Structure 1
Amino acid sequence: MTDTLGFRIKSLRKKRGLSQEALAQIVGLTRSSLTAYEIDRTTPPSEVLTKLSKTLGTSSDYLLGLTDSSMPSEAEVRFVNSLDLDNDELLQKFDLKVDGQVIPPEHLELAIGLLRSLQQQRSAGK
């Protein structure tokens, strides 16, 4: 099946030219644990899923099959491209909230860095 978590992990790993051993080492897993995820024997915990998605340059939503796009949408890329501000300016300009609570600056910096990284990966792929 092409829509399983394991298939998507394996496919992206191969696309990035990584062996199971290399990806397992980067993410902090044993090769046997990664194999179990790739053959859908077990499901990775959320923190491992996050590490895998970051390492493979995709979203957890893609790995879980919640979206068919392994890369950010065009709208997301346009939004990031329009942000010609450094992190401090972004933090001052926007009061971003999730569930009514202001997102802490350290979380915003991480999110901004991730968006910029995804944008650079997408630009390099074109």
Structure 2
Amino acid sequence: MAQPKTKTVNVYDSLGGDNKVFYELFRKFMSVRSNVMSDGMDQWHFSSTAQNRQTDGTSCGIFTLMKAECLVNNLPALTLGQSNVAFFRNYVRGRLLASGDRHTYLCNALQCIDPRGQL
């Protein structure tokens, strides 16, 4: 996450990798960008915060959403972790279904079958 006000970049990684390469790529991009834009955004700092670790290889997206939930609600960084994954998957599914449009057909392309089994 890049915070322009403080010129800080924070990479949240639930797998605990070495993310300095991402910071360096971002820093280089902003440095090149400064050749075109003179807005003082060429000097950035890398920041790291405590992060809950996932214990499987399939929860990266949920960990990203849980981290976003903590950030937008000003919750402590370690509030949601692996033990919350199943609950949060259902929470996200419910939110998506509640806000999405429901259609009575699977698709309207030629040769698609609608829910009643008709062409």
Highest Rg: 1 or 2? 2
- TM-score (normalizing by structure 2): 0.26
- TM-score (normalizing by structure 1): 0.25
Which is helix-richer, 1 or 2? 1
